[in-house]
Amino acid sequence: MPKLEIHPLSELRGEAAALLAERFERQRAAEPLLPEVDDFAPHVAGLDGLVATRGGTAVAYLAGAVEGDTAWTRFAGCAAKEAEAVRDLFAVMAERWQVSRFQVVVPGSDLELVDVFFRLAFGCQAFWAVRETEPAEPSGFGGRVRPGTSADHEAAASFDEDLMRLQAASPSFSGMSMPTRAESLEEWADTWDGQDAFVHFVAELDGAVAGHALLYRRPEGDLRVPEGNIDLAHAEVREELRGRGVGLALTAHVLGWAHDHGYRSMTTDWRSVNLLSSRFWPRRGFRPQYLRLYRAVP
Ligand SMILES: CC(C)(COP(=O)(O)OP(=O)(O)OC[C@H]1O[C@@H](n2cnc3c(N)ncnc32)[C@H](O)[C@@H]1OP(=O)(O)O)[C@@H](O)C(=O)NCCC(=O)NCCS
C-alpha cells in the first residue's frame, strides 16, 4: 500500500471539500434534519489544517484553530474516507497547536470518526441535536405557560445563574466563572427588545415563575442548522419544582408554538456531563447531529 503523505490544507482545498461532501451525504442519510448544502468549498475556505493523501488520493483532512487555551475543530473540521488517517493528522496538528486542551466536533452518526478520537483519548462532552416540531400536546402540570416579558428579566437572570452553578459543579466541571447579577441581567437584556431574534416563555405554577424556555432564530448557513428551524437555546425549571411536569409542559409548548409558526424543526444542545439535560432532551425526541469530543493532556 502506498505510504500516507501529509500536506497543508491550503494546497488541497478542493480535495478536502470533496471529502466533506461525501461525509455530509452520509450524515444526511442518517439524519435528514441537516441543511441542504450544494457547495462545500466555502466551508473549508477559511480553514487551517492538513490533508492526508495515499497514492495521490486525499483520504482525510483535519482543520481547526486555537482559541484561548483550547484547540477547536468545528462542524467542517474533519472528514475521511480512511478514518485512521485522522489520527496521523491529529498527531501533527496537536503538536503544532501547542495547547493541552482539544475539542473536536464529529457527526453523531459517524462511528468511525468517533472511534478514531476515542482511541486518541477523547471523551464525549456535548451534543448538538434536532427534532421535528409538532402540535402542542395538552399538559397537566397544573399551571400555565405564557409569553415572557421584560417583567421576567430578574427571573431569567437568576435561572441563568442556576444553570451556570449546575454546570460548574460535579460532574460537569465547566470551569466557567459565575457571572455577577449585573452580567446575567446584561446577558438577557435584548430578549424582549422586539428585534425578533428571541422568543421567551415562562411556566407559572400558583402564579409564580416555575420555569422558562428561550427560543432563538439561529442563523442558517453552517453544516448544522436546517432550513425552517428554530433553536431551543435555554430551558430551566426551579430546582425544587423539577420532576413534576413543568419541563414537559414547556417543551410541548415551544414545539407547538414553533409548529404553529411554520418552523419544521427545533435544534438544541446540551453537555453530556449535565445529568439533567443529557437525560431529558433525548427522551423528548432530540436526536444527535454532532458530538463535541474533548481531551485534556495529560
Ligand atoms: C431539564 C429540566 C428543564 C427538566 O425540567 P423538569 O421540570 O424537571 O422536567 P419534568 O418534570 O417535566 O420531567 C422530568 C422527568 O419527570 C417525569 N415526570 C414529569 N411529571 C411527572 C410526574 N407528575 N410524576 C412522575 N414523573 C414525572 C418526566 O416524564 C421526565 O422523565 P423522563 O425524561 O424520563 O420522561 C430540569 O431538569 C432543569 O431545569 N435542569 C437544569 C437546567 C438544565 O440543565 N437545563 C438545560 C440546559 S441545556
- Which three three-digit cell numbers place residue 7? 500536506
- The reported pLDDT for the residue numbered 194 is 79
| 145 Cα–ligand 1 center, Å | 15
Fold that domain 132-287 belongs to in CATH = Aminopeptidase (3.40.630)
For range 206-226, the mean pLDDT:
97
- The reported pLDDT for the residue numbered 195 is 82
Specify the DSSP class assigned to residue 179: P
- The reported pLDDT for the residue numbered 177 is 84
pTM exceeding the 0.85 threshold for the entire prediction: yes
Confidence of residue 229 (pLDDT cuts 50, 70, 90): very high
How much is the mean pLDDT over the chain? Answer: 96
For range 86-110, the mean pLDDT:
97
Dihedral of the alpha carbons of 131, 132, 133, 137, in degrees to the nearest 10: -80
Q: In CATH terms, is domain 4-120 a member of 3.30.1370.60?
A: no
- The reported pLDDT for the residue numbered 176 is 84
Map grid coordinates 466533506 to a residue.
Answer: 20
For range 255-275, the mean pLDDT:
98
Residues with CB under 6 A from ligand 1: 163, 166, 235-237, 242-248, 270, 274, 276-277, 279-280, 283
Q: How big is the CA angle at 21 (ends 16 and 25), to the nearest 5 degrees?
A: 150
Residue 140 has pLDDT above 90, yes or no: no
Can you tell me which atom of ligand 1 is nearest the CA of 167?
A: 44
φ/ψ of 171, rounded to 5, equals -95, 15
| 167 Cα–ligand 1 center, Å | 17
Sign of CA dihedral 221, 222, 227, 231: negative
| 64 Cα–ligand 1 center, Å | 36
Residue 278 has pLDDT above 90, yes or no: yes
The dihedral region occupied by 4, where left means phi > 0, alpha psi between -120 and 50, and beta the remainder, is: beta
Ranges of each domain in the chain = 4-120, 132-287
For 2-59, write each residue's pLDDT tens digit: 999 999 999 999 999 999 999 999 999 999 999 999 999 999 999 999 999 999 999 9
3-state secondary structure of 193: coil
Domains 4-120 and 132-287 share a fold: yes
- The reported pLDDT for the residue numbered 93 is 98
Distance CA 257, CA 45 (A): 37
